[in-house]
């Protein structure tokens, strides 16, 4: 991932390639990002089936990760109050926020699995590192 985005300063280009690398490297059901725009999350580059385009602050797993500024792991999306189901195939999910230098959430990375209980602390550690690398693009 580091060498993939090295030398490119455009965040959209880097997110697009990172999402593709994760999709084809890890083979999760859906991987993509949502950008914070005018107090909503708006769909950005993704790999997978079509997805909802806008998510309000605090809504769903993505909106909650934005609000809390924290990574959220959901082992069973059916048990998550307010989960936004873009596909009935999604069973578990991890959402990692990317914070800019002011500490504001710039985007969230969303990874969905069609298996229950598919994410753990290891995914969290390494996906947060990936998001950290993307954050360098903003500096």
Q: Give me the least distance between CB of 101 and ligand SME, in Å please.
A: 25
Element (H, E) at 43: strand 40-47
Contacts with ligand SME by CB under 6 A lie at 30, 51-52, 55, 60-62, 83-84, 86, 90, 93, 110, 112
Contact 16, 46 (CB under 8 A): no
Q: Give me the least distance between CB of 30 and ligand SME, in Å please.
A: 5
- Cα angle 133, 138, 139 (rounded to 5 degrees) comes to 95
Q: Give me the least distance between CB of 32 and ligand SME, in Å please.
A: 6
Contact 32, 45 (CB under 8 A): yes
Nearer to ligand SME, 112 or 123 (CB): 112
Beta-bridged to residue 108, according to DSSP, are 34, 97
Nearer to ligand SME, 23 or 83 (CB): 83
């Amino acid at each position: 991932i580091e060498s993939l985005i090295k030398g490119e300063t455009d965040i959209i280009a880097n997110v697009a390639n990172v999402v593709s690398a994760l999709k084809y490297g890890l083979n999760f059901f859906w991987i993509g990002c949502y950008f914070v725009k005018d107090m909503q999350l708006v769909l950005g580059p993704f790999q997978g089936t079509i997805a909802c385009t806008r998510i309000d602050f605090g809504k769903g797993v993505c909106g909650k990760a934005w609000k809390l500024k924290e990574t959220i792991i959901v082992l069973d999306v059916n048990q998550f109050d307010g989960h936004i189901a873009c596909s009935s195939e999604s069973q578990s999910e991890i959402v990692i926020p990317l914070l800019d230098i002011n500490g504001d959430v710039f985007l969230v990375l969303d990874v969905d699995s069609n298996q229950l209980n598919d994410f753990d602390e290891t995914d969290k550690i390494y996906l947060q590192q990936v998001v950290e690398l993307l954050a360098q693009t903003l500096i």
